[in-house]
Structure 1
Amino acid sequence: MTRGCEHPGGSHDGAVPTRASATVGARLWLLVEYPGAWPSHLENFELPDNISELVRRALDRGIRPQLIRRPGRRTRPRQQGLRVIVAYGTGPTPWLASGVIAGPDDLDLDALVAGVVPESCILDDEPVFLVCTHAKRNACCARIGLPLARELAEILPDRVWETSHVGGDRYAANLVCLPHGIFYGSMSQAAAIAAANAYRSGEIILDRYRGRAGIPEPLQAVEHFARSHTGECSVGAVAVESSRSDGDVTEAIVRVSARSGGDVRLRVVVEPSAWQAPCGTACAETITTYRLVSLDRLTPVRYTTFALT
Structure 2
Amino acid sequence: MPTLASATVGARLWLLVEYAGPWPSHLESFDLPEDVSELVRRALDRGVRPQLIRRPGRRARQREQGMRVLVAHGEGPAPWLASGFVAGPDDLDLDALVAGVVPESCILEDEPVFLVCTHAKRNACCARIGLPLARTLAENLPGRVWETSHVGGDRYAANLVCLPHGIFYGSMSQAAAIAAANAYRSGEVILDRFRGRAGIPEPLQAVEHFARAHTGECSVGAVAVESSRSDGDVTEAIVRCGDTRLQVVVEPSAFRAPCGTACAETITTYRLVSLDRLTPVRYATPALT
TM-score, normalised by the number of residues in structure 2: 0.96
- Mapped to 1, the partners of 2:211 and 2:264 lie a distance apart of 29
Q: How does 1:37-56 map to 2 (within 5 A)?
A: 37-56=22-41
Secondary structure of the structure 1 residue equivalent to 2:131: helix
Q: Which residue number corresponds to residue 297 of structure 1?
A: 277
- Mapped to 1, the partners of 2:35 and 2:141 lie a distance apart of 30
Greater shift in the superposed pair: 269-278 or 206-215: 269-278
- Mapped to 2, the partners of 1:197 and 1:273 lie a distance apart of 30
Q: Which residue number corresponds to residue 59 of structure 2?
A: 74
Q: Which runs of 5+ in 2 are unaligned?
A: 285-289
Output one character per residue of 1:169-225: Cα deviation in whole Å (capped at 9) or x when no partner.
000000000000000000001100000000000000000000000000000000000
Aligned residues: CA RMSD: 1.2
Q: Which residue number corresponds to residue 137 of structure 1?
A: 122
Which residue type is aligned with residue 155 of structure 1? Answer: N
Q: Which residue number corresponds to residue 128 of structure 1?
A: 113
Q: Which residue number corresponds to residue 110 of structure 1?
A: 95
Q: Which residue number corresponds to residue 254 of structure 2?
A: 272
Q: Which residue number corresponds to residue 218 of structure 1?
A: 203
Greater shift in the superposed pair: 206-215 or 77-86: 77-86
- Mapped to 2, the partners of 1:75 and 1:293 lie a distance apart of 50
Task: For residue 277 of structure 1, report the CA deviation from its aligned partner.
Answer: 3.5
Q: Which residue number corresponds to residue 287 of structure 2?
A: none
Could you list the structure 1 runs, at least 4 aligned residues long, displaced by more than 4 angstroms after superposition: none
Q: Which residue number corresponds to residue 230 of structure 2?
A: 245
Percent same amino acid among aligned pairs?
A: 83
Task: For residue 275 of structure 1, report the CA deviation from its aligned partner.
Answer: 1.5
Q: Which runs of 5+ in 1 are unaligned?
A: 1-15, 305-309
Q: How does 1:191-230 map to 2 (within 5 A)?
A: 191-230=176-215
Task: For residue 75 of structure 1, report the CA deviation from its aligned partner.
Answer: 2.8
Task: For residue 43 of structure 1, report the CA deviation from its aligned partner.
Answer: 0.1
- Mapped to 2, the partners of 1:148 and 1:167 lie a distance apart of 17
Q: Which residue number corresponds to residue 57 of structure 1?
A: 42
Secondary structure of the structure 2 residue equivalent to 1:224: helix
- Mapped to 2, the partners of 1:135 and 1:292 lie a distance apart of 35
Q: Which residue number corresponds to residue 164 of structure 2?
A: 179
Task: For residue 78 of structure 1, report the CA deviation from its aligned partner.
Answer: 3.2
Which residue type is aligned with residue 294 of structure 1? Answer: S
Output one character per residue of 1:7-46: Cα deviation in whole Å (capped at 9) or x when no partner.
xxxxxxxxx1100000000000000000100000000000
Question: Which fold has the larger relative contact order, with Cα–Cα distance below 8 Å and residues 6 or more apart in sequence?
Answer: 1
Task: For residue 276 of structure 1, report the CA deviation from its aligned partner.
Answer: 4.2
Say yes or no: does 1:234 pair with 2:219: yes
TM-score, normalised by the number of residues in structure 1: 0.90
Which residue type is aligned with residue 30 of structure 2? Answer: F
Secondary structure of the structure 1 residue equivalent to 2:52: strand
Task: For residue 298 of structure 1, report the CA deviation from its aligned partner.
Answer: 0.8
Task: For residue 269 of structure 1, report the CA deviation from its aligned partner.
Answer: 1.1
Q: Which residue number corresponds to residue 173 of structure 2?
A: 188
Which residue type is aligned with residue 69 of structure 1? Answer: R
